[in-house]
Amino acid sequence: MAMYFVLMAAAVQLFASPRALLGVAVALAAYGLLLEVAQHTLTTTRMFEWGDVLANTLGVVLGLGLAATPLARGLVWFEHRALRRGRMRG
């Protein structure tokens, strides 16, 4: 779940368009589902787990939820702050 949260949170930082964010969210959820199918069909030691699919999707949803908070523009804030500090020192 944590990795899907991080990936979606990164997308929130990179994309401002709700349509783009929804596309990334659907793609990440589908990726998690496909990985579960692959580990079930391509290995003999792993099995498909609906709980894993749910956890991965929950991570995506929580990461997408950041878009509705001030944290959605955290990297922009950090960049502006870093640039200001650089100008003050230089």
Mean pLDDT of successive 10-residue segments in the chain (90 residues)? Answer: 94 92 97 96 95 97 93 84 76
pLDDT number for residue 45: 94
Q: Amino acid identity of 89?
A: R
Model-level pTM?
Answer: 0.81
- pLDDT computed for residue 88 by the predictor: 67
Confidence at residue 51, expressed as pLDDT on a 0 to 100 scale: 97
Reference 6, options 53, 58, 60; nearest CA is 60
Alpha helices in 1-90 (DSSP H): 2-14, 18-42, 50-65, 74-89
SS3 15: coil
Return the pLDDT at 90. 57
